[in-house]
Every structure is written in C-alpha cells, then in structure tokens.
C-alpha cells in the first residue's frame, strides 16, 4: 500500500522540524510585545556574518563589485543599518544569488539577558 503524499513529505526529520519551526514563528509573530523586544535585541546586539559558497568562492574575486561582502565577520547590525546600509543590501542580494551564506545572530550571552 502506498503512503499518502503528506506522510511521504513528513517522513524526513529535517522537513518536520522545519514545518514546526515555521508554525512556531508564525504564532510568535502575532505577539506584538515579543516582536518589539526581538527587533530591539537584534538591532542593538545582533551581528552579521557571511561565508562564501563554493560558487561564491570562485565568482567573488577581487575584481567583482560585491567582493566586500565575501567575508564579513561579526559586523554589528546597528552599524550596518545606520552607517553602511548599502553593505547589508548588497549582502542580501548576494545571498539570493547563492554566492554567500548570510547569518544574522545574537551571542548566547546577550540572548540569556533577553529573559
């Protein structure tokens, strides 16, 4: 007997975790107070890191116009959003093109203070 399409899609543990994370994110996004606190946390304490993909390793050479976003290491988001907004926009564009992996993170110490 064949499994239904729904069961086949949920057969993967990674996909199931992704769906539950997505559901939790949508539920939490309706909490305005929590959203405001998280925005403030990421704006003030968050940082940006980029890592080139295999394709980006080849394409983002010194002569590429987006070379400056090839390796960004823990750059504070506050600085990017106020002084160097174009750098963040360029990093987003390169991530969409598959040239870099873009990570926006908060340190565990700052996250512990969030409570």
pTM, to two decimals: 0.67
Determine the average pLDDT of the residues in 1-26.
73
Give dist(CA 7, CA 67) in Å, integer. 44
The string of pLDDT tens digits covering residues 37-76 is 888 998 899 999 999 999 999 999 999 999 999 999 999 9
In the chain, domain spans: 1-30, 42-113
- pLDDT at residue number 7: 55
Distances (CA, A) of 64 to 13, 47, 75: 39, 24, 21
């Amino acid at each position: 007997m064949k499994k239904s399409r729904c069961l086949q899609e949920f057969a993967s543990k990674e996909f199931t975790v992704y769906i539950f994370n997505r559901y939790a994110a949508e539920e939490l996004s309706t909490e305005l107070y929590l959203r405001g606190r998280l925005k403030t946390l990421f704006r003030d304490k968050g940082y940006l890191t980029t890592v080139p993909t295999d394709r980006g390793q080849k394409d983002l050479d010194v002569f590429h116009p987006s070379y400056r976003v090839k390796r960004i290491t823990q750059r504070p988001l506050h600085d990017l959003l106020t002084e160097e907004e174009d750098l963040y926009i360029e990093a987003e564009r390169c991530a969409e093109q598959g040239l870099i992996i873009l990570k926006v993170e908060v340190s565990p110490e700052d996250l512990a203070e969030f409570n």
